[in-house]
Amino acid sequence: MRSRFEPDRQLTARMAVTMFLLGLLYVAFIAALIVLLKSVVLVVVIAAALLSAQYWYSDRIALYAMRGRLVTVEEQPRLHGVVDRLCASADMPKPRVAVSDMDLPNAFATGRNADHAVVCVTTGLMRRLETEELEGVLAHELSHVAHRDVAVITIASFLGVIAGLIVRFAFYSQLFGGRSQRDQNTAVVFLAVMAVSALVYAVSFLLIRALSRYRELAADRAAAMLTAKPSVLASALTKVSGDIARIPTEDLRTAQAFNAFFFTPALGPGTAVGNLFSTHPTLERRLEALAELSAQLGEAGGEPGRH
């Protein structure tokens, strides 16, 4: 799909490298499980089933987890109007539009390709943002679809998901299993599976987050270039980030599993997340990049996020 969103060769290159490295990691992981569990059919069937579910049903899974529902033009004319204008400007297919009834101010895009994409916003976001600010956020999400990094991050996250599930399964099997499972040979196999899965999870975790941080900067830039209003996007980013800090911790925990897909991470006050483990660049880094872009475009209105 070709659109008028500004292409980003660095993002394309990073996605290719990330998928290549994760592919190698995936092959090594499956091979290790086959050796340890001594069942080619079992490992391949489970891996294929989980990958298929992640690829084909990622949009439904995300909407269900975030309590989102598809909405019609009659239900949300303002939201559909903004998406229609942006898609016309970007010359791209219109994705399905969904709303999540959550006070958490955020938005995300998901789906395996442009023809099966969904853009979802929360009621908390729509209530807090002016129409121009909402336009900037939605342009950011649509750029993820146009750049195809939504599909890449969905597939890339699969390896971490399956490794994490295996670690949990092995742990609880040993913790709550019967005596027949506690013989020495079984214990050794389970420990080996847990060790391999934990290593794979850690490596995929770091690779995905490195890609995720860059893709957020790329989406900010592409959205600002499409709307020609970097300061408005920065204003929305500042407003949303500030309000998220005031959301109850319980609500944030519900959403944190989807941080890699969000416009801005659902992190509450006092959350110390190092740059190496963050799904997003810092707020300061994003505002700095938008300020530089605003200066390049000669945008009136001063420094982004400061008015």
The mean pLDDT value of the chain amounts to 80
Is residue 278 within 8 A of residue 213, CB to CB? The reply is yes
254 burial class (0-12, 13-18, 19+ CB within 10 angstroms)?
Answer: middle
Nearest-angstrom CA–CA distance, 92 and 248: 37
- Provide the pLDDT for residue 290: 94
- Provide the pLDDT for residue 297: 82
Strand ranges across the sheet with 68-70 = 68-70, 96-100, 118-122, 107-110
- The residues of the chain scoring below 70 in pLDDT are 1-3, 158-187, 190, 245-260, 267-276, 299-307
3-state secondary structure of 206: helix
- Provide the pLDDT for residue 188: 74
- 141 catalytic, yes or no? yes
- Provide the pLDDT for residue 304: 41
- Provide the pLDDT for residue 301: 45
Q: Which residues of 11-22 are buried (b: 16+ CB within 10 A; e: fewer)?
A: beebbeebbeeb
For the chain, the farthest-separated pair of C-alpha atoms sits apart, in whole angstroms, at 73
**What number of CA atoms fall less than 13 Å from residue 172's CA on the CB side?**
5
Nearest-angstrom CA–CA distance, 85 and 70: 19
Choosing from 74, 130, 133, 141, the catalytic residue is: 141
| 0.75 exceeded by pTM | yes
